[in-house]
């Protein structure tokens, strides 16, 4: 049986379950990806903010962290899912700009969504910018829809509030139902 996600991968790349050797390289991918946002869109502290190693390690140990690697096995993108109050939350997806616009973000998303379903989750949530093309519009093309305030789980509303307190604007919560 052919893996449908593997057919969508650009040549020379693969998606793997993250291993310990990948973790030290993921922050560089994250920081590079943050630099593609328009000037002054992200507050300066966020531009240099990176996921703590213990968060990456916990996601790896839970089987909720996947990497896109290049032909020599170096991570050029990753996707991290967290379980928050029993909800699957897409917490981070980054592709290094040098490897962007090739479908790696889509491949990472499809891979992670398949794995989340295998783990028994019927839906997945995320928070993102509503007005950046590679954010909410990108996720909408993959089947995510904006979650209104009335239907939003409390944990997700708390995450949006925290993001706003950190200076992020134009944020929305989205859900993928499966």
Q: Could you state, in order of their start, the residue ranges of all structural domains in the chain?
A: 4-177
Is 60 exceeded by the pLDDT of residue 61?
yes
Structure letter (DSSP) for residue 98: G
pLDDT at 160 over 80: yes
DSSP letter (8 states) at residue 151: G
What's the CATH number of domain 4-177, 3.40.630.30, 3.40.50.620, 2.40.50.140, 3.40.50.1580?
Answer: 3.40.630.30
Taking 50 as the threshold, does the pLDDT of residue 98 lie above it? yes
Residue 58 CB: number of other CB atoms within 10 A?
14
User: 55 and 87 in contact (C-beta within 8 Å)?
Assistant: no
CB 93 within 8 A of CB 105: yes
User: Phi/psi of residue 70, each to 5°?
Assistant: -85, -170
Can you give the pLDDT at residue 178?
Answer: 61
| pLDDT at residue 26, rounded to an integer | 96
pLDDT, tens digit (0-9, with 9 covering 90-100), for 112-129: 999 999 999 989 999 999
Higher pLDDT, 58 or 166: 58
3-state secondary structure of 173: strand
Mean pLDDT of 34-60: 84
Name the more confident of 102 and 153: 153
Question: Sorting pLDDT into bands at 50, 70 and 90, what band is 2?
Answer: very low
Per-residue pLDDT averaged across 38-48, rounded? 77
Q: Supply the pLDDT for residue 40.
A: 76
């Amino acid at each position: 049986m052919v893996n449908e996600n593997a057919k969508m991968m650009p040549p020379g790349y693969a998606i793997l379950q993250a291993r310990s050797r990948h973790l030290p390289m993921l922050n560089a991918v994250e920081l590079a990806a943050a630099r593609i946002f328009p000037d002054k869109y992200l507050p300066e502290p966020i531009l240099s903010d990176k996921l703590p190693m213990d968060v990456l390690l916990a996601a790896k140990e839970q089987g909720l962290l996947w990497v896109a690697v290049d032909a020599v096995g170096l991570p050029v993108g990753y996707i991290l899912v967290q379980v928050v109050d029993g909800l699957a939350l897409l917490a981070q997806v980054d592709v290094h700009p040098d490897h962007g616009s090739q479908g790696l973000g889509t491949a990472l998303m499809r891979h992670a969504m398949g794995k989340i379903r295998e783990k028994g989750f019927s839906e997945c949530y995320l928070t993102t910018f509503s007005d950046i093309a590679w954010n909410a519009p990108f996720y909408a093309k993959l089947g995510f829809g904006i979650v209104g305030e009335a239907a939003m789980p409390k944990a997700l509303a708390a995450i949006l509030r925290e993001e706003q307190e950190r200076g992020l604007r134009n944020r929305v919560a989205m859900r993928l139902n499966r």
